Amino acid sequence: MNSATLHSFGIGLATKNSRNDIIEVFYPQPTVKPTQELCNAIMDACSFESGVNGYQEISTNTQNVLRSAIEAADDPTVFDSTCELLRSYENDEDTSQCLIICILSTDTAPTTVPEAYFKLHLLSHRLAKPHSLNLDGLFAVLVNLAWTNQGPIDIADLPHKQLEARLKNELLEVMSVDKFPKMTNYIVPTGVRIAHTARVRLGAYIGEGTTVMHEGFVNFNAGTEGPAMIEGRISAGVMVGANSDLGGGCSTMGTLSGGGTEIITVGQNCLIGANAGIGFPLADGCIIEAGLYVTAGTKVKLLNNKGEIEKTLKAKELAGICNLLYRRNSISGAVECIPLKGTVSLNEELHSHN
């Protein structure tokens, strides 16, 4: 009997292209830190080597063994949807889908599509927070797909599928062509409002009590800790603290496009005004005036409570200082910041998602 310890595992329904390659996977409920009993049962049922990450297609026999093992283990971390998938899936002549199991023994960079989708699911299920998983090389692993009303389709298969639909007098609508699907086609976290679901990617971490308005956008490996109002852009890698508000048209600078390594965060009880933005970590209780974009290198005049200039610093040198108002002097055009007496509070009625 194996005695390996698994970091996490998931039973998933995978989609294949015409070349029999897996192009995406839906995991109804990933499981983290399963009991040792369940780890042993999984390793015995499947041909995994101890201490490795990977996936395998589940045969009918393995499907029954896994279902029995999971139900017998009675592990509270395994949800009913996993058992339902194992009970309900039937192997038939349809080669476009298959049942798989993916395991992570260690947190190494994903090397296969099932591993990549599994890690994105962990984030959107709130089982792992942004920057807690190794996602190195994720873009190279994911496949660019046509996301349609009939499911994901490999780009090379799309012309045939379009013709096939027309011949059946059906509509094959292509909503997007991208490596990332929208999160809500896989997961709808509890206690959130998302006005335009196409603007939240799979792999986003949306904390309970968050409202994402129509123009709000949340990338993968990014998101919100808890109650938040998002009317602006949360770029890849950016985490927004609880009770913060990102105004319409505002943005946060990610770390992907410019090749930088600085992780941009927004603290708790912050406000980034409409059409404003940041390129440095914003501490708790800070406000960025509407229309003002403050990058890490922006020269900022630090004022005291009397309005006197104490010193001039780069914005990144103020990253750890809480309760500051960043504004642009309407006469001189200089960027200034002054101490704040209070902090931002969200409208409780607007953010109740019951």
Q: Is 231 a catalytic residue?
A: yes
**What's the gap between Cα 57 and its chain centre?**
25
Is 314 known to sit in a ligand binding site? yes
Is 19 known to sit in a ligand binding site? no
3-state SS of 74-141 is CCCCCCHHHHHHHHHCCCCCCCCEEEEEEEECCCCCCCCHHHHHHHHHHHHCCCCCCCCCCCCCHHHH
Is 290 known to sit in a ligand binding site? yes
Which amino acid, residue 113?
V
Is 327 known to sit in a ligand binding site? yes
The crossing angle, in degrees rounded to 10, of helices 36-45 and 60-73 is: 170
In terms of C-beta density within 10 A (0-12 exposed, 13-18 middle, 19 or more buried), how is residue 149 classed? exposed
Is 166 known to sit in a ligand binding site? no
Which of the residues 24, 115, 225, 231 is marked catalytic?
231
Residue with tokens 């709808």: 188
In terms of C-beta density within 10 A (0-12 exposed, 13-18 middle, 19 or more buried), how is residue 326 classed? buried
What the block records as the tokens of 94 is: 């349809």
Is 248 known to sit in a ligand binding site? yes
* Partners of residue 201 on adjacent β-strands: 182
Is 329 known to sit in a ligand binding site? yes
Is 4 known to sit in a ligand binding site? no
Is 251 known to sit in a ligand binding site? yes
Is 289 known to sit in a ligand binding site? yes
Is 330 known to sit in a ligand binding site? yes
Q: How far apart are CA 206 and CA 123, in angstroms?
A: 9
Is 149 known to sit in a ligand binding site? no
Residue with tokens 């692993």: 141
Is 57 known to sit in a ligand binding site? no
For residue 70, give the nearest of 60, 57, 48, 85 by alpha carbon: 85
- Annotated binding site for Mg(2+), which residues? 215
Active-site annotation, residues: 231
List residues forming the annotated binding site: 215, 233, 248, 251, 274, 289-290, 297, 314, 327-330
Can you say which residues are annotated as belonging to the binding site for succinyl-CoA?
A: 233, 248, 251, 274, 289-290, 297, 314, 327-330
